[in-house]
Amino acid sequence: MGTGQCRKGQGSVIDPFGRSVTYLRLSVTDRCDLRCTYCMAEKMTFLPKRELLTLEELDRLATAFIDKGIRKLRITGGEPLVRRDVMSFIEAMSRHLDSGALDELTLTTNGTLLEKFAPRLASAGVRRLNVSIDSLDPDKYARITRGGDLAKVLDGIKAATAEGMRIKINAVALKQDNAGELPAMVEWAHGHGHDITIIEAMPMGEISDDRFDQYLPLSVVRENLESRWTLTPLAHRTGGPARYVKVEETGGQLGFITPLTHNFCEGCNRVRLTCTGQLYMCLGQEDKADLRAVMRDNPGSDEALIAAIDEAISRKPKGHDFVIDRPGSAPAVPRHMSVTGG
């Protein structure tokens, strides 16, 4: 099949490279109550609220994707739980779990509001959460997040675990901040029954610091971990970019997301929808489709919306072009991760 074509598969859409698109990452807000140094500028300018999709529009868009064969829906941000009344949207999405149209409804969060919302998330059918923690040292955590309270996040994880949700810890590898702490973080996560994934810093958006100074190749991290433990590769995939191993000595699962040292695009099955209705077919490319405009121009029918989704996926690229190769490198894409959704 040539580039620029896509076809419907069994309950899904196939992109130009034969990949079935079954996973939607949907951002409900670009706002966050933290300002992580590798993710945001200290003084961020967020979108005017009038530009955001309403909760009803988020529902309409998500449902259109589910009708086209999306089987996994991940709610992201910014920090999704800071959006007012977001739980009503998440609870509405649970109807697709009940109908069997959706296999999984999940969330990526910084955990600051998790203690408050854990019971409602569990009741809505959320069974797994990704929680971002880059240090278990309270002072270091506060510095990386520019003011975050680690104790509040750990309380949130306890609350979610008590509700029966499985937790995966996401930790960005930062050469100057947590490089020496990563083995202890793996031990802590596995000791509490959590999976953990280590992520290379991605060159997205202008930030206050130089990412080159913080960039830590996961090949170096893995070599360090292999000097301590036996890492057995696993075939397990979650539909995301991580490659997994079992740490034999801890019995836990460890993932590596390596956008720079090992491109993960060959099996990409996902697209990302922003809180303003912009569909990005690739995290590391600027090409997008304005589904908000299509939806608002056609309030009584989803026919044009479905056609716009098909056309967009026909432009899904083979992969991204992330690189951090020298001090002062400009970001690969100008938008911040919080705009696209984690």
Looking at the predicted structure, is the pLDDT value of residue 290 above 90? yes
Buried b (16+ CB within 10 A) or exposed e, 61-73: bbbbbbebbbbbb
- Judged by average pLDDT, the poorest of 17-26, 88-97, 108-117, 292-301 is 17-26
Residues 6+ apart with CB under 8 A from 227: none
pLDDT for 5: 47
Torsion of CA 32, 320, 266, 318, to 10 degrees: 120
Average pLDDT estimate for 107-113: 98
Q: How do residues 73-104 score in pLDDT, each as one tens digit?
A: 999 999 999 999 999 999 999 999 999 999 99
pLDDT for 235: 86
pLDDT for 340: 55
Split at pLDDT 50, 70, 90, the class of 318 is low
The more confident residue out of 96 and 206 is 96
Split at pLDDT 50, 70, 90, the class of 294 is very high
Q: How do residues 232-287 score in pLDDT, each as one tens digit?
A: 999 876 555 788 999 999 999 999 988 654 455 566 778 899 999 999 987 666 67
Q: How do residues 39-58 score in pLDDT, each as one tens digit?
A: 877 888 889 988 999 999 99
pLDDT for 227: 97
Split at pLDDT 50, 70, 90, the class of 9 is very low
Residues 6+ apart with CB under 8 A from 270: 21, 22, 23, 24, 25, 239, 240
Mean pLDDT of the chain: 85
Q: Measure the CA–CA gap between 107 and 199, rounded to whole angstroms.
A: 17
User: Residues 202, 66, 131, CA angle at the centre, nearest 5°?
Assistant: 40
Split at pLDDT 50, 70, 90, the class of 331 is very low
The 10 Å Cβ neighbour count of residue 22 is 20
Q: Measure the CA–CA gap between 212 and 201, rounded to whole angstroms.
A: 9
pLDDT for 329: 46
Q: Torsion-angle region of residue 153: left (phi > 0), alpha (psi -120 to 50) or beta?
A: alpha
Q: Measure the CA–CA gap between 221 and 200, rounded to whole angstroms.
A: 10
pLDDT for 332: 44
